[in-house]
Structure 1
Amino acid sequence: MGLEGAAEYLRCEPETLRKLAKSLEIPGAKIGHEWVFVRQDLASYVKSRYYQNVQSGVADRNKEESICQSTNAKVRHFGKSNSPLKGKSFKDHLVQKAGMKQS
């Protein structure tokens, strides 16, 4: 298939696909002035990316904390709250901050 068809198959812009093929990240061949791709090779590429994403996601879940590169502060991951509102509702917190009585 050609560049346009392959880009449509991968749901990306033709220029993006051309750059990936030129950098040898995606398998393709330039025959004359046209890029040519094999659908099975494109499917294999997508599958390999899927497995990379899954594996990196598993690795990231194992990290409890990391260091923020701009502030050197420790940053928690995956929804562990540092909020002082634990056990309180947001409305209760606002009422307390405003010094109002709750109705």
Structure 2
Amino acid sequence: MHELHVSLDDAQLSPAAQKLQEPLEAQLSSALQRAAEIVEQDYHGESADEVAARLLEVARSSLHPDIADAFAPDRAELEQAARVVITAARNA
């Protein structure tokens, strides 16, 4: 499957978050990648919207609650990730 990566916008981060940007991006990317693997294995024809919602739910469940609450990926990028998951599941 395509490697999923989360990038944070420097302009929207607090000074403290800017200092932690790299490890935070790595943690969010890892959570999203793991969520994609789980959702792909459990894919049964759901729509892209349903897959996107499930990706976000599963990714947030593996994060610290404070980080999970703040994790609000761009909707278009999340839907793109959902399409990647659906394509991978159908080609498996």
* Shorter-chain TM-score above 0.5: no
For the pair shown, the structure with the greater C-alpha radius of gyration is 1
Q: Which has the higher strand share?
A: 1
Indicate the structure with greater helix content.
2
Ranked by relative contact order (alpha carbons within 8 Å, sequence separation 6 or more), the top structure is 2
